Chain A
Amino acid sequence: MAFQQADATKLPHSILEQLHVNDALPPGLSPLQSIDQVDLGLSAAGYIANRQISTAIYMAHHLQKPILVEGPAGVGKTELAKSVAAWMKLPLIRMQCYEGLDESKALYEWKYGKQLLYTQILKDKISSVIGESDNLATSLDKLHAFGDIFFSKQFLEPRPLLRALEEPGGAVLLIDEIDKSDQEFEAFLLEILSDFQVTIPEIGTVGAIVPPIVLLTSNSTRDLGDALKRRCLHLHIGFPDEKLEAKIIASRVPGIDASLLKQLVSFVQQLRALDLKKVPSVSETIDWAKVLVLLHTSVLSVDLVRDTLNVLLKFEADIEAAGKQIAGLTHKARADGGVAG
């Protein structure tokens, strides 16, 4: 079957090229030999992981279990899946969850249009199939001999879950924001998560050719069921510490000045300690770093921070609350960055 490209549009160009190649390694020669290898691989794909994350990927592969990734928004949950896919040169199949998502959108759907069209086309042929049989019973028998041609794989439109199972070289399946889906859907996922197979009534059970690496992400807007949690490894990604964040920024914003990097990371870390409605996430730190680089900043100043604070904070109330403390935070950040106040 043709490889669907719908989700690949979200990936950077370089990864796209790799997707075409899709020369997955045989299971025996997995690049997942050790946790360090995972670490290296992920950082080669541009994802700076802490050891916990690498361990999770390693375990997921060897235990063949999905990973449930929880954590605040913007810490790189989705990014992790993309990076794993890029590194292992596997296609990334992404399924965004939302309320009302159901089987026909997640698993498969019949191509009704095609079915109808084919019936119309084949209408004329029906007499030749039935032939000269003169009673109903024999015509029916002849028809039965053709089996369920209209309910075969030709007429099946695979949706993300089925596609992930049918990828010949394995895949990375990202089930994004599972907490946004209904509870029924969560229950429906259990079969695929524990056995990597799905049941289509008309066709039978479809098992995975190569078990995909499955990542589920959740922002904990609702508590997930125990049954789901039991089947998954549970990885909690929190905000990175200063060192790790600096590393992430350095890899994502190449060419950033070392002193500025220290200052801005220190500032963001302090900002997270404040009592805010929504604390800045890593992706927002990256955005801010890009802005500062564009503005040719080398030293944080109070005015500059005030002008660009809306990159970090997305609520008016937060900007106001943080605004009062900018001077102190900037001063401290400059001190941490080794710039004389």
Chain B
Amino acid sequence: MSGTSAAPASEPLRRFLQVARGAGLRVSAAEGIDAARAVQMIGYADRDILKDSLGLILAKTPEEKAAYEEAFELYFKRDDLGAQDEAESDEQKRPWQQQQGQQGGEGMGGSGGQSLGQLLEQDDRAALATAMEQAARESGIENIRFFTQKNLYARRILDRMGLRQVERDMEALRQSGTPEGLGRAQFLEGRVDQLRDSVRDFVERNLILFAKGETEKFREELLKSARLSNLERRDLDRMRVLVRQMAKKLAARYAKTRRRRLRGQLDIRRTMRRNMGWGGIPFITVWKQKRIEKPRVMVLCDVSGSVAPMSQFLLMFLYALNEALSDIRSFAFAGSLIEVSEILEKEPVEQAITKIMETIGFGSSNFGNSFADFEDGWMQHVTPKTTIIILGDARGNRTDPRTEIVSRMSQRSKRIIWLNPEYKSAWGTGDSDMYRYAPFCNLVTVCNTLRHLERAITDILEDAV
């Protein structure tokens, strides 16, 4: 097969790449070219080798590998349609077989290639599958996006395959009234039903293939701007993935050590090295550089009952950030406060969150008490370089807010940022102490969607230099 020229080979591949992109693989143009070269080399004949080879080129992470395998199976399964129940079809008896010689071709309008009626009668599954593929391509199956379009596409494909003609033939056979005619009509009807089923199957698979990517993207966009507390259970998994992606992106952007020139201090070793070419006469001077420290962050996360739906995600985000930034300490509080850095570091994300929630979560919050705990245990670690982030709704159930502690925290630290999941209109109502804390914070902002969270953290990291 490898002898075939590039053009016909690239058509199924092009469509597969489209499918792969839809399944979430990031396939660049260069990788597409590599894939085409690989296909040219090995051909389509051996599916296993094809799968392995394209997998090497297209999927570059374990997640991508899984997505790739699924997409590959779905896409290339279609071609196997012909082979799969050949054995079974041989066993089926054709009631009119004896008469076929006399009656063959009667009423079938096929002139050049075989008509659909003939294909059905001979039960040539491979040819039927090919015809179906062709009809599907002609009817633009790759544009299918919604499940409501399923019947429309199925009908179009059947029409293109010539079902109308077969239906007319069947009607004519029934009209004839002869026993053979009726038998044949009945037989054909069974076949047509089978064909309908497989076309419907086929369209469904294509729907999954081609529409999945689009709908997924759409859903993700929605999720990113949905209020975290309104999310449904079934969205949790997807959300987890999103949170991780986002945190990873942020971390990758900021974990890079940035360097700053420190003029005035000559790096003698490097200068000598650089100027070897001029016999050691320093034409180019090299200055000592200082690595900029990564941001020092302390995060205090409210996990009480009132913000419970949100704290799951906050913790998850915290977890991801914890992986990315080396100098981050995390605390969780409700009635009192504990440090959770170690839990986040050692346990896998799910267990860590459950463990934290079990240890301290869900109670009614007492901000004053929690801040007092913080002052007792960790205030000495707060330096003028530290950024303190507080995630919470500032609703202390009418307990003493202890604003004086926050004031001291603010004096010691570089700054305090308060992210509040409540809308601004709710601040200061009921037991909310937000406006009492606000004067000591450098920034108080609403944060209740993933987007807000991302923006807030980006700002923090950017200013941390």
Q: Does B28 contact A (CB under 8 A)?
A: yes
Are the CB atoms of A110 and B276 closer together than 8 Å?
yes
Are the CB atoms of B48 and A51 closer together than 8 Å?
yes
Residue from A51, A62, A110, A229 within 8 A of B49 (CB atoms): A51
Are the CB atoms of A55 and B49 closer together than 8 Å?
yes
Are the CB atoms of B41 and A62 closer together than 8 Å?
yes
Q: Which residues of A contact B34 (CB under 8 A)?
A: 63, 65
Q: Does B26 contact A (CB under 8 A)?
A: yes
Are the CB atoms of B56 and A183 closer together than 8 Å?
no
Q: Does B60 contact A (CB under 8 A)?
A: yes
**How distant is the Cα of A229 from the Cα of B26 in the complex, in angstroms?**
11
Q: Does A298 contact B (CB under 8 A)?
A: no
Q: Which residues of A contact B41 (CB under 8 A)?
A: 59, 62-63
Q: What is the CB-to-nearest-CB distance from B456 to chain A, in angstroms, rounded to a whole number?
A: 23
Residue from A151, A202, A235 within 8 A of B56 (CB atoms): A235
Of all chain B residues, which has the CB nearest A53? B52
**How distant is the Cα of A51 from the Cα of B51 in the complex, in angstroms?**
11
Q: What is the CB-to-nearest-CB distance from A63 to chain B, in angstroms, rounded to a whole number?
A: 6
Are the CB atoms of A63 and B65 closer together than 8 Å?
no
Of all chain B residues, which has the CB nearest A50? B52
With A55-B56, A119-B279, A223-B252 known to touch, is A63 a contact of B37 (CB < 8 Å)?
Answer: yes
**How distant is the Cα of A119 from the Cα of B57 in the complex, in angstroms?**
51
Are the CB atoms of A234 and B60 closer together than 8 Å?
yes
With A63-B37, A230-B30, A230-B31 known to touch, is A223 a contact of B248 (CB < 8 Å)?
Answer: yes
A51, A52, A55, A202, most chain B CB atoms within 10 A: A55
**How distant is the Cα of A52 from the Cα of B50 in the complex, in angstroms?**
10
Q: Which residues of A contact B26 (CB under 8 A)?
A: 226
**How distant is the Cα of A35 from the Cα of B56 in the complex, in angstroms?**
14
Of all chain A residues, which has the CB nearest B272? A112
List which A41-88 residues lie within 8 A (CB) of chain B: 51-52, 55-56, 59, 62-63, 65, 67-68
Are the CB atoms of A59 and B277 closer together than 8 Å?
no
**How distant is the Cα of A151 from the Cα of B277 in the complex, in angstroms?**
8
Are the CB atoms of A230 and B28 closer together than 8 Å?
yes
Of all chain B residues, which has the CB nearest A65? B34
Are the CB atoms of A112 and B28 closer together than 8 Å?
no
Q: Which residues of B contact A62 (CB under 8 A)?
A: 41
Of all chain B residues, which has the CB nearest A231? B30
Q: Does A247 contact B (CB under 8 A)?
A: no
Q: What is the CB-to-nearest-CB distance from A55 to chain B, in angstroms, rounded to a whole number?
A: 4
Flag B1-41 by CB within 8 Å of A: 1 or 0 each. 00000000000000000000000001010110010011001
Q: What's the interface size class on A, roughly?
A: 20 to 34
Q: Which residues of A contact B61 (CB under 8 A)?
A: 234
Are the CB atoms of A55 and B31 closer together than 8 Å?
no
Are the CB atoms of B256 and A183 closer together than 8 Å?
yes
Q: Which residues of B contact A52 (CB under 8 A)?
A: 52, 55-56
With A52-B52, A236-B65 known to touch, is A59 a contact of B276 (CB < 8 Å)?
Answer: no
Q: Which residues of B contact A229 (CB under 8 A)?
A: 60
Are the CB atoms of A35 and B49 closer together than 8 Å?
yes
Q: Does B430 contact A (CB under 8 A)?
A: no
Q: What is the CB-to-nearest-CB distance from A239 to chain B, in angstroms, rounded to a whole number?
A: 13
Flag A221-238 by CB within 8 Å of B: 1 or 0 each. 001001001101111100
Q: Which residues of A contact B28 (CB under 8 A)?
A: 230
Are the CB atoms of A234 and B56 closer together than 8 Å?
yes
Q: Which residues of B contact A51 (CB under 8 A)?
A: 48-49, 52
Q: Does B264 contact A (CB under 8 A)?
A: no
Q: What is the CB-to-nearest-CB distance from A65 to chain B, in angstroms, rounded to a whole number?
A: 7
Q: What is the CB-to-nearest-CB distance from A310 to chain B, in angstroms, rounded to a whole number?
A: 23
List which A180-198 residues lie within 8 A (CB) of chain B: 183
Q: Which residues of B contact A67 (CB under 8 A)?
A: 56
**How distant is the Cα of A229 from the Cα of B53 in the complex, in angstroms?**
15
Q: What is the CB-to-nearest-CB distance from B38 to chain A, in angstroms, rounded to a whole number?
A: 6
Q: What is the CB-to-nearest-CB distance from B55 to chain A, in angstroms, rounded to a whole number?
A: 8
Are the CB atoms of B276 and A112 closer together than 8 Å?
yes
**How distant is the Cα of A291 from the Cα of B31 in the complex, in angstroms?**
46
Q: Does A115 contact B (CB under 8 A)?
A: yes
**How distant is the Cα of A226 from the Cα of B26 in the complex, in angstroms?**
10
List which A283-313 residues lie within 8 A (CB) of chain B: none
**How distant is the Cα of A59 from the Cα of B65 in the complex, in angstroms?**
17
Q: What is the CB-to-nearest-CB distance from A291 to chain B, in angstroms, rounded to a whole number?
A: 31
Residue from B30, B53, B59 within 8 A of A55 (CB atoms): B53
Q: Which residues of A contact B31 (CB under 8 A)?
A: 230
**How distant is the Cα of A226 from the Cα of B25 in the complex, in angstroms?**
12
Q: What is the CB-to-nearest-CB distance from A234 to chain B, in angstroms, rounded to a whole number?
A: 4
**How distant is the Cα of A229 from the Cα of B37 in the complex, in angstroms?**
18
**How distant is the Cα of A56 from the Cα of B54 in the complex, in angstroms?**
10
Q: Which residues of B contact A65 (CB under 8 A)?
A: 34
**How distant is the Cα of A59 from the Cα of B37 in the complex, in angstroms?**
10
Are the CB atoms of B53 and A59 closer together than 8 Å?
yes
Q: What is the CB-to-nearest-CB distance from B31 to chain A, in angstroms, rounded to a whole number?
A: 6
Are the CB atoms of B56 and A56 closer together than 8 Å?
yes
Q: Does B177 contact A (CB under 8 A)?
A: no
Flag A123-136 by CB within 8 Å of B: 1 or 0 each. 00000000000000
Q: Does B62 contact A (CB under 8 A)?
A: yes
Q: Which residues of B contact A110 (CB under 8 A)?
A: 276
**How distant is the Cα of A236 from the Cα of B69 in the complex, in angstroms?**
13
List which A160-211 residues lie within 8 A (CB) of chain B: 183, 202
Please provide the 8 A-B residue pairs with the shortest distance between their CB atoms, ordered closest to farther: A233-B56, A234-B60, A55-B52, A229-B60, A52-B52, A56-B56, A230-B28, A59-B53
| 28 A–B contacts from the bound complex (CB under 8 Å) | A35-B49, A52-B56, A55-B52, A55-B56, A59-B38, A59-B41, A59-B57, A62-B41, A63-B34, A63-B37, A63-B38, A63-B41, A65-B34, A67-B56, A68-B60, A112-B276, A119-B279, A183-B256, A223-B252, A226-B26, A230-B30, A230-B60, A232-B60, A233-B57, A234-B56, A234-B59, A234-B60, A236-B62
